[in-house]
Amino acid sequence: MAGRPQLMRPSIFCEFCKRMPESLIAIGDALPYLLQGALVTLTVVIGAMALGLILGIPLAVGQVYGHPAFRRAIGLYVWFFRGIPLLAFLFLFYFGLCTALDINLSAFTVAIIVLGLISSAYQSQIFRGAILSLSEGQFRAARALGMSDLKAISFIVLPQALRLSIPAWSNEYSILLKDSAVTYALGVAEIMARAHFVATRTYQQLPLYFTAGVIFLLLTWAGTKGLRILEERVRIPGYTTHGM
């Protein structure tokens, strides 16, 4: 059919079709290996979230109710860990601090500690915001009922504040999830590192990074969904921020 405009240049289209099976095979071959990496990523993220939670709560409480000097010290801590680049901190901790103190921590452990410390600074601000959003009368009423400061915080303020924190907390999860890819610099074999390894051997960069991206998306979806369910579960009927 001479003179008829061609909509698709056949050479490029055929090239794509020819390469499709090759790409799919590469993805299929690499998938178990990448999924093991997903397990590593998840462990790092959950460990870091937990560490950040354990440190973040006292930090938030201290920053709201603490002595002014204490508050300033926490402010300094938050400024430091929010300001320092993750990669720089990983290197400083792993090669600097661990060597100077002569403690032999694995790259995996250091990844959790460093991400956890940084996350604790962010999480403390999430909790602080939630604590400040409660009316001050609650704390006063608890004190008036004869509760100690600590009791009022532990049983009145925090149970409410933590519930309020869950939506913002799921942000922290998805940020940590992607930050964890940086830990490859220390040799943690997480998803991106593994995708990179397979890509350099097979020269199938695009299909592999695509797969890695899909795994991250699924992990984000599962995590935020899980936190959403948690939010529902712990919700006090007729209370908290839950809208219509």
Of the pair 171, 200, the CB lying nearest another protein is at 200
The residue behind tokens 């991400």 is 115
Of the pair 72, 201, the CB lying nearest another protein is at 201
Of the pair 107, 167, the CB lying nearest another protein is at 107
Distance of closest approach, residue 98 Cβ to another protein, in angstroms = 7
Of the pair 115, 231, the CB lying nearest another protein is at 115
3-state DSSP assignment of residue 174: helix
Distance of closest approach, residue 7 Cβ to another protein, in angstroms = 25
The identity of residue 220, as a single letter, is: T
Of the pair 74, 113, the CB lying nearest another protein is at 113
Q: Count of CB atoms within 10 A of residue 49's CB?
A: 23
Phi-psi region of 146 (alpha: psi -120 to 50; beta: other; left: phi over 0): left
Distance of closest approach, residue 212 Cβ to another protein, in angstroms = 14
Distance of closest approach, residue 220 Cβ to another protein, in angstroms = 24
Q: Which two tokens stand for residue 8?
A: 């698709």
Q: How far apart are CA 216 and CA 178, in angstroms?
A: 8
Distance of closest approach, residue 91 Cβ to another protein, in angstroms = 7
Of the pair 95, 221, the CB lying nearest another protein is at 95
- Half-sphere exposure (Cβ direction) of 68: Cα atoms closer than 13 Å: 0
Residues within the interface to another protein (CB under 8 A): 29-30, 32-33, 36, 51, 54-55, 57-58, 91, 94-95, 98-99, 103-107, 109, 113, 116, 148, 150, 154, 184-187, 189, 193-194, 196-203, 205
Residue 157 to residues 27, 149, 213, 221: CA-CA distances in angstroms?
49, 10, 39, 30
Q: Output the DSSP codes for 83-103.
A: HS-HHHHHHIIIIIIHHHTT-
Name the residue among 53, 35, 28 with its Cα closest to residue 216: 35
Distance of closest approach, residue 33 Cβ to another protein, in angstroms = 4
Q: Which long-range contacts (CB under 8 A, 24 or more apart) does 148-151 make?
A: 149/65
Q: Which two tokens stand for residue 59?
A: 């930090």
Distance of closest approach, residue 51 Cβ to another protein, in angstroms = 6
Of the pair 148, 241, the CB lying nearest another protein is at 148
Q: With contact defined as beta carbons under 8 Å apart, do 149 and 143 qualify?
A: yes
